[in-house]
Amino acid sequence: MNLPTLVFLAAVLAYPVLYAGYLSVHKVGLAQLRRGEFPFNGWENYSRVLEDSLFWVAIKNTLVFTAITVVSEIVLAVAIALLINQTSVWTSRVTRFLILLPYAIPPICNGLIWSFLYSFQFGFLNRILFSAGVIDHPINWAGNPDTALYAVTVPYIWRTLPFAIILVHAALQGIPRELYEQAAIDGANAWHRFRQITWPMLQQIIAIILILRTAFAFAVFEEILAITQGGPGDATWVAAWYSYKITFSPPNNFGMGAASAFILALMIAAIALVYLRAVYRRVQL
């Protein structure tokens, strides 16, 4: 019964990953692709990637992007999950109903919608801030090298936050009510109840979110493509964008693309191993 799964895993996941490793130590360009033979060139692709200053810019941007999105997502997810857990407040119930909506927006559309919001000439953001008197001239949010990387984190957080909120909310509902009642009798205020009960009970799920979101934020692609295409200059080149551009735009260096993607995969694999150890240690199901 596992045959189809094994075939698919082998054909679409295992074989390509190994093949990517194979390609990454061979010279593969359009000419080689047409002829169908890839000359071996050892570590040359890797050394060329590692010597490329743009690659290190991409890695730095990826790390900054990941740090900002993961930290803000965890803080926001805990806050919003606590908010929608207040079922006696009717606006909380409305929020809870709407919370999943960003999950329904295709990533590429999300990027486009935000690039519309950020637009220098007719973006909503500039218009609102201008009307409110916060700024006196329009700001080019996604077109300024100083703000562009931060500008692309916001749509990404907006789109992926529901996932984190749902996990935290599910964990909150697993905390026995008696604990809070007991604490209230003992005279604990709201902060103490959060610090002594909620936070310790949430730690496991927060670790899971931390690892999952870090792994996925490392491979961010759609929002970059839709909003900045890596620009202005190299301000928003991230690792996945680097591999994509090196491979699929002239001069189409497939070997170097595979090498850079492989480096990215190794970094994510390290995160995946941590996840496996942390979460599925008692993998009894």
Partner 1 sequence: MFKLSLSGRIALHVANLVVIAVILLPIAAVLLGSIQSENIKKFYRAFGNSLIVAVSVTFLTLLFGALSAYTIARLRYRWTLFLLQANIVSRFVPAIVLMIPLYIVMRSLGQINSLSGVILAETGFLLPYAILILAPYFDAIPSELEEAARIDGCTRLRALVHIVLPLATPALAACGVIMFIVSWHELLIPLILNARPDFMTLPVVIASLVGDVFVFFNLMMAICLLALAPTVVLVILLQKYIVEGLAAGAVKG
Within residues 240-269, the interface with partner 1 by CB under 8 A covers: 240, 243-244, 247-248, 254, 257-258, 261-262, 264-265, 268-269
By CB under 8 A, name the one of 78, 139, 148, 226 that touches partner 1. 226
3-state percent helix, strand, coil for the chain, nearest multiple of 5: 75, 0, 25
5, with CB counted inside 10 A (0-12, 13-18, 19+), is exposed
By CB under 8 A, name the one of 56, 199, 229, 278 that touches partner 1. 229
116 touching partner 1, by CB under 8 A: yes
89/85 Cα distance (integer angstroms): 9
217 touching partner 1, by CB under 8 A: no
173/178 Cα distance (integer angstroms): 12
CA 161 to chain centre: 10
- Closer residue to partner 1 (CB): 188 or 207: 207
Closest distance of CB 7 from partner 1, Å: 9
Long-range pairs for 204-207 at CB < 8 Å and ≥24 separation? 204/171, 205/167, 205/168, 205/170, 205/171, 206/74, 206/78, 206/168, 207/278, 207/279
67 touching partner 1, by CB under 8 A: no
By CB under 8 A, name the one of 67, 100, 128, 135 that touches partner 1. 100
- Closer residue to partner 1 (CB): 130 or 221: 221
What would the x/- binding string for partner 1 be over residues 165 to 204, using CB under 8 A?
-xx--x----------------------------------
By CB under 8 A, name the one of 48, 197, 219, 232 that touches partner 1. 219
- Closer residue to partner 1 (CB): 98 or 135: 98
Q: How far apart are the first and last CA of the chain?
A: 19
